[in-house]
């Protein structure tokens, strides 16, 4: 009987232990799970001591069994939106203007331990300050007029300046992760100092240049400078035009002189050629006439020089339009010679 009571006692004890174990399991197992939303990263944080374990970054999103005494110290995994309205900057020509700027950055999951080490969860203020510094350094390289006439290039330059300031100069592990993951000239990841060369360990993926506000007094001074510049350029253009006109007049005068000289040379050459042609013509005609008369005298059997002369004289008279010949008179009469 005593042995039976002992067995029952043992059974009750074992049952009690099992019940307590099941109860603890039912209580502690759900308490061991902690969750992160899809837009959150997290480090394990011991609730009893406040110690944060940065050896592993959890997320983004998910349920994790990390122990009943642990929860998550959370960081934002989605985009952080930064906007600066009426940010005062100086341009290259020392004029103060105001611009509206916005950009969006993301925390790098692999570099989150460095963010926690140096800034904990208060990184946003440092990022804002560093971004403003980068913007002001870049705007000082641009002329006031370019803020209106060359906005696209200015926006790209500001984007690059802010991206390099906040993101550093190191290439990222996955160069295909986004457009500027590995920009030209970036330092290989295995050669990077993760605390000094990676900026503030964030990726600036988007940047927008908004309105440009030029104060009236600044705009007035700027317009005065532009007017003065234009007047100076106009004076230079007038001076250049005067020089060009005088040069052109000289060129025209030289060309006209050359043309007159060429005309005179052509006229002289024409007269020379006409004289030579006329002389050649007369020589050819006389030669042909002489040859023709010789053949005629031969055919007619005229050998007497006096007869030849008379015949030639009569032939010459006959060729004159204002001479009339009359025959059968004892004395030669020549009429109509007036």
What are the tens digits of pLDDT across the range 303-330? 777 777 777 777 777 666 666 666 655 5
Quick: pLDDT tens for 25-84: 655 555 567 889 999 999 999 988 989 999 999 988 888 988 888 889 999 999 999 999
Question: Rounded to whole angstroms, how far apart are CA atoms 106 and 80?
Answer: 6
Question: pTM score > 0.85 for this model?
Answer: no
Q: Indicate the CATH number for domain 80-214.
A: 3.30.479.30
SS3 string of 216-284? HHHHHHHHHHHHHHHHHHHHHHHHHHHHHHHHHHHHHHHHHHHHHHHHHHHHHHHHHHHHHHHHHHHHH
Start and end residues for every CATH 3.30.479.30 domain found in the chain: 80-214
Helix, strand or coil for residue 113?
A: helix
| Measured CA angle at 202 (ends 166, 110), to 5 deg | 140
Phi/psi zone of residue 200: left (φ > 0), alpha (ψ -120 to 50 degrees), beta? alpha
Structure confidence at residue 336 (pLDDT): 47
**Rounded to the nearest 10 degrees, how much is the dihedral formed by the CA atoms of 244, 250, 251, 253?**
140
What order of strands is seen across the sheet that includes strand 80-90? 80-90, 96-107, 202-213
Predicted confidence at residue 227, as pLDDT, reads 87
The position carrying tokens 């964030």 is 202
Q: Which H/E stretch holds residue 84?
A: strand 80-90
Regarding beta strands 33-36 and 80-90, do their DSSP bridges make them parallel or antiparallel, or are they unpaired?
Answer: unpaired
pLDDT in tens, the chain (338 residues): 555 666 667 776 776 667 676 655 655 555 567 889 999 999 999 988 989 999 999 988 888 988 888 889 999 999 999 999 999 999 998 888 999 999 999 999 999 999 999 999 999 999 999 999 999 999 999 988 888 889 999 999 999 999 999 999 999 989 998 999 998 889 998 899 988 899 999 999 999 999 998 877 767 776 787 788 888 888 899 988 988 998 898 899 989 999 988 888 888 888 888 888 888 888 888 788 788 878 877 877 777 777 777 777 777 776 666 666 666 555 554 554 44
* Order of strands across the sheet that contains 70-76: 52-59, 40-46, 70-76
């Amino acid at each position: 009987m005593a042995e039976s009571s002992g067995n029952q006692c043992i059974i009750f004890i074992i049952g009690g232990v099992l019940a307590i174990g099941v109860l603890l399991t039912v209580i502690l197992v759900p308490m061991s799970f902690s969750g992160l939303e899809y837009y959150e990263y997290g480090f394990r944080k011991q609730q009893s001591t406040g110690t944060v374990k940065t050896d592993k970054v959890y997320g983004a999103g998910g349920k994790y069994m990390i122990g009943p005494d642990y929860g998550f110290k959370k960081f934002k995994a989605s985009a952080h939106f930064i906007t600066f309205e009426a940010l005062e900057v100086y341009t290259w020509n020392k004029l103060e203007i105001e611009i509206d700027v916005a950009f969006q950055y993301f925390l790098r999951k692999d570099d989150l331990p460095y963010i926690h080490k140096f800034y904990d969860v208060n990184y946003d203020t440092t990022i804002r300050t560093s971004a403003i510094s980068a913007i002001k350094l870049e705007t000082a390289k641009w002329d006031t007029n370019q803020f209106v006439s060359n906005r696209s290039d200015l926006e790209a330059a500001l984007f690059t300046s802010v991206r390099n300031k906040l993101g550093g100069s190191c290439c990222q592990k996955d160069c295909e992760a986004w457009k500027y993951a590995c920009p030209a000239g970036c330092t290989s990841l295995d050669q990077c100092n993760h605390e000094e060369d990676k900026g503030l360990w964030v990726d600036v993926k988007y940047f927008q240049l908004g309105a440009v506000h030029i104060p009236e007094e600044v705009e007035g001074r700027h317009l005065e400078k532009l007017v003065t510049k234009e007047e100076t350029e106009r004076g230079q253009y007038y001076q250049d035009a005067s020089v060009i006109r005088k040069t052109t007049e000289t060129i025209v005068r030289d060309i006209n002189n050359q043309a007159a000289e060429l005309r005179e040379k052509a006229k002289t050459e024409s007269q020379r050629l006409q004289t030579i042609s006329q002389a050649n013509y007369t020589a050819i005609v006389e030669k042909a006439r002489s040859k023709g008369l010789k053949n005629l005298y031969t055919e007619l059997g005229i050998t007497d020089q006096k007869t030849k002369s008379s015949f030639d004289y009569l032939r010459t008279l006959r060729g004159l339009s204002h001479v009339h010949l009359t025959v059968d008179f004892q004395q030669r009469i020549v009429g109509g010679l007036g």
